[in-house]
Chain A
């Protein structure tokens, strides 16, 4: 069973088009999507997160084609993955409530939510932020909270658009280590975008390069 299979995909809007002839992502792999600004990295992640319907082609998730005509099926698929958008948006409430949000949507019992939020705050060394309102956070802290909100879902697939963008150097190591642990110990499939070839080589076991909407698989 594959995690994703993209076949003859074309996606994008406002005159921009991303095309992928054939690409497969194996479960438990760590894939870096590398490319300059505007190349189509975010479009690709939006397609993989079922947030954007391709104009043509077939996207399969866990070897089953995605049914875009069924909102219920799309909702179920989105709850199987965890997606961190570029420039993430936090809701106007406390850090803790933000992190809890996805778990609440998935009907996780309250006591388990409490434990998991505490655990992720400790893992990312940000326990002091728990009760702060997001309006009081710096750009780097916003990114960390958004990462925590994504990691806490314990999904089998993590899609991260520039996960360490805005994060200060001291904490980049913490985030990368946590990602590596989830990938190696829990078998989580991780697909992340980055500008940095160095970061891609350091973290990923495979890389794809996007240039002006064309994908080259290494």
Chain B
């Protein structure tokens, strides 16, 4: 209980005091997670929509693989990308290891199957009459498709938010590909791991509270968005 109250007061102190190290840690987490989620949204949403709309051989297998990859262990992704970005790896010459770019790549791989699989599920869950109703009201095929996307908007946003939640809270990729470099690649989760190892439980808890607060804010934003749309 002492540890929790210390953590809370520590979090408040850090938040209100705008501690530069603390701010840098939060900024790295938000920046990297936001970038990787945006990339995942730009790539995985079209892929998910395409899979949902088209019938092709092996479609069921593709969906099964995407669903399986949703629970991809972060350390496995970290290890795979590490092997490619390390000096002797396929892309070693790019010098990306221990950079924010490497973290973004790893997190994108984590978020992609989540956003794509949830987009497929959303699109397949839509009322099958939406498309034909739009066509019967005079929509062109493209306008009818946009109508479908619009009907799926909350599901797609929820898919992207789920992707954000996954990458914002992950530690394996950030640790292995970012290297936990202070003010550059140290994120909230890697900082928590470090502070816990050092025995600084209060700071670790404070960072954990920030992590949960950001997740809560994202979800509140989503709920508000849903309520505002008629």
Contacts and interface: CB of A to CB of B under 8 A. Distances in A.
A88 B133 contact: yes
Nearest to B148: A91
Contacts of B19: none
Interface stretch (B10-18, B135-143, B203-211): B135-143
A210 B118 CA distance: 44
A83 B127 CA distance: 18
B129 interface: yes
A93 interface: yes
Contacts of A153: 137-138
B135 A91 contact: no
A78 B136 contact: yes
A89 B230 contact: no
Given A78-B138, A91-B147, A85 B133 contact: yes
A71 B135 contact: no
Given A85-B132, A91-B147, A105-B143, A149 B230 contact: no
B133 A89 contact: yes
Most A CB contacts (10 A, CB to CB) among B130, B133, B135, B138 go to: B138
A87 B136 CA distance: 14
Nearest to A51: B136
A102 B136 CA distance: 9
Interface in A73-121: 75, 78-79, 83, 85, 87-89, 91-94, 97, 101-102, 105-106
A91 B148 CA distance: 9
Interface string A47-83: 0010100000000000000000001000100110001
Interface of B is mostly: helix
Interface residues of A, number: 24
Contacts of A105: 137-139, 143
Interface residues of A: mostly helix, strand, loop or mixed?
Answer: loop
A133 interface: yes
B6 interface: no
A75 B140 contact: yes
Contact of A85 (B129, B141, B151): B129
Contact of A94 (B129, B134, B141, B230): B230
Nearest to B131: A89
Contacts of B133: 85, 88-89, 91
Interface string A155-186: 00000000000000000000000000000000
A131 B139 CA distance: 23
A131 B230 contact: yes
B136 A49 contact: yes
A91 B151 CA distance: 7
B137 A149 contact: yes
A128 to B, nearest CB: 15
A77 B207 CA distance: 62
B161 to A, nearest CB: 18
B136 A85 contact: yes
Nearest to A94: B230
Contact of B137 (A93, A94, A102): A102
A51 B135 contact: yes
Interface of A: 49, 51, 71, 75, 78-79, 83, 85, 87-89, 91-94, 97, 101-102, 105-106, 131, 133, 149, 153
18 contacts: A51-B132, A75-B138, A78-B136, A79-B138, A85-B129, A85-B132, A85-B133, A88-B129, A91-B133, A91-B147, A91-B151, A92-B151, A94-B230, A101-B134, A102-B138, A131-B230, A153-B137, A153-B138
Interface of B: 127, 129-130, 132-141, 143, 147, 150-151, 229-230
Given A85-B132, A131-B230, 8 more contacts: A51-B135, A71-B141, A78-B135, A78-B138, A88-B129, A89-B130, A91-B130, A105-B139
